[in-house]
């Protein structure tokens, strides 16, 4: 019914973007017309409109339609059809297969961290003061570098929501949580955020990103200061009854489900230690063996479910359900397919953008990371930077520790910061964003729709990013 209703739009895509050609018959990248990004733009607009309707007009037809994750999957796949048809007509499936492999790795990691962290219960209910909430976010910003933005987000969002459930003015709290814990916090180590991990796999030294600590501290410090002021003003608006109720429910923090920490360590060890080079040495670089890392993560997930089943006290108190991760999986399968033409176009024409300065790489990488998945966007602009440096070897100085990558420190800093920082720009910029949104809504928090969230990110984050540009990238 849904696909039949929207079929004319698919046909319209076919009619207005009829031409495409391969680059010299190569299968690495295809030289596509820019019009082939229309399905991806259509998917983003559909998500935005449907999210807006569901948030502001929940009883409307579109609002009710968006409640179902299966309908979200159908919508995502509908916008994927033109792209699948394109590669079918070219008989060139390499980009689709590559993207689906990335999707499997992406969703396996998110699923593992989501399920395992959901079995860890941070028992207790602290006073929901601005100081306590700011401390939560600060701890999350550090923890994101140790267990990843996804792990830190799933582990901390529920106790933060529980701490603040007696208050009334709390809609800003999950938004800042996404900014700080789900994105910018994970800038210092490769396991912090997916694009940095891909950089590590490409040869960026493991501890190289620690040099971003000044930019990280500047952004996190400003966001924590803004949040503290915002939360203080909101706290003053709370009724005496709400504050008294919050006081009566205070309990000290305690960790339950500690065995899941072991499964979490196994997942993180798999991420760090099972690299493509290691798989090559083991003779597992091809076929089913290439997903050995994902198998280990999923095995740890099964062990978590066996040791902490859905009926376990920890999951019950966490109000654990699979709905948030199912929503992410349903939407991102469409995103990973629909964004292929955009990434192919960038790979073929990125050098034509005329990027020659670090601040340009920061804004281009970041701007596209907000609407594309930030991990492949990172790799795309890393490739662009390598091309720029290779074409002007006397202009750009490559340090010895990056000589095997052929990229300057300034460019790599800009690309790293842009992909991680601006992944917070939209709900789809980074995997944890949608999960935090969905979990918060399950707990009864009113989250902004897709477009309203972008307004928050523009008003709060953009001035900080401009300041980062002037302080660190204009050299």
pLDDT digits (tens, 9 = 90+) for 402-453: 888 889 999 999 999 999 999 999 988 887 898 899 889 988 888 998 889 9
Q: Above pLDDT 70, what percent of the chain? A: 91
Domain ranges of the chain: 36-473
* Residue 188: alpha-carbon gap to chain centroid: 16
> What tens digit of pLDDT does each residue of 355-414 get?
889 999 999 999 988 887 787 788 888 888 888 888 888 888 889 888 888 899 999 999
In this predicted structure, the answer to whether residue 27 has a pLDDT above a threshold of 70 is no
In this predicted structure, the answer to whether residue 65 has a pLDDT above a threshold of 90 is no
pTM as predicted: 0.81
d(CA 88, CA 82): 10
> What does the pLDDT read at residue 62?
83
d(CA 15, CA 22): 19
């Amino acid at each position: 019914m849904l696909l039949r209703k929207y079929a004319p739009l698919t046909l319209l895509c076919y009619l207005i973007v009829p031409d495409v050609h391969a680059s010299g018959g190569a299968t690495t990248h295809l030289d596509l017309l820019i019009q082939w990004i229309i399905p991806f733009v259509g998917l983003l607009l559909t998500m935005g409109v449907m999210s807006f309707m569901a948030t502001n007009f929940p009883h409307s037809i579109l609002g009710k339609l968006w409640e179902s994750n299966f309908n979200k999957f159908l919508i995502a796949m509908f916008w994927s059809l033109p792209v699948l048809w394109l590669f079918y007509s070219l008989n060139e499936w390499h980009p689709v297969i590559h993207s689906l492999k990335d999707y499997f790795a992406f969703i396996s990691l998110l699923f593992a961290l989501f399920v395992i962290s959901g079995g860890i219960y941070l028992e207790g209910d602290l006073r929901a003061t601005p100081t306590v909430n700011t401390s939560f976010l600060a701890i999350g910003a550090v923890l994101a570098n140790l267990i990843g933005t996804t792990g830190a987000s799933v582990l901390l969002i529920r106790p933060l929501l529980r701490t603040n459930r007696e208050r009334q003015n709390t809609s800003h709290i999950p938004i800042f949580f996404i900014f700080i814990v789900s994105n910018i916090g994970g800038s210092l180590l490769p396991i912090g955020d997916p694009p940095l991990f891909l950089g590590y796999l490409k040869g960026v030294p493991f501890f190289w990103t620690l040099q971003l600590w000044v930019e990280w501290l500047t952004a996190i410090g400003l966001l924590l200061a803004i949040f503290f002021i915002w939360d203080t003003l909101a706290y003053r608006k709370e009724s005496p009854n709400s504050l008294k109720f919050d006081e009566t429910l205070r309990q000290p923090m305690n960790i339950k489900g500690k065995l899941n920490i072991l499964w979490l360590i196994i997942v993180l060890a798999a991420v760090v230690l099972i690299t493509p080079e290691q798989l090559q040495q083991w003779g597992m670089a091809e076929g089913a063996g290439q997903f050995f890392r994902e198998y280990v993560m999923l095995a740890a997930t099964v062990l978590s479910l066996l040791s902490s089943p859905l009926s376990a006290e920890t999951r019950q108190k966490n109000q654990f359900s699979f709905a948030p991760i199912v929503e992410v999986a349903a939407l991102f399968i469409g995103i990973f397919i629909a964004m292929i033409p955009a990434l192919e176009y960038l790979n073929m024409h990125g050098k034509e953008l005329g990027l020659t300065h670090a601040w340009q790489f920061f804004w281009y990488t970041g701007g596209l990371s907000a609407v594309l998945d930030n991990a492949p966007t990172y790799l795309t602009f890393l490739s662009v930077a390598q091309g720029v440096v290779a074409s002007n070897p006397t202009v750009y100085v490559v340090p010895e520790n990056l000589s095997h990558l052929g990229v300057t420190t300034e460019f790599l800093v800009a690309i790293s910061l842009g992909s991680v920082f601006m992944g917070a720009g939209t709900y789809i910029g980074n995997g944890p964003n949608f999960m935090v949104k969905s979990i918060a809504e399950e707990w009864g928090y009113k989250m902004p729709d897709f477009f309203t969230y972008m307004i928050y990110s523009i008003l709060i984050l953009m001035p900080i990013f401009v300041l980062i540009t002037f302080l660190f990238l204009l050299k």
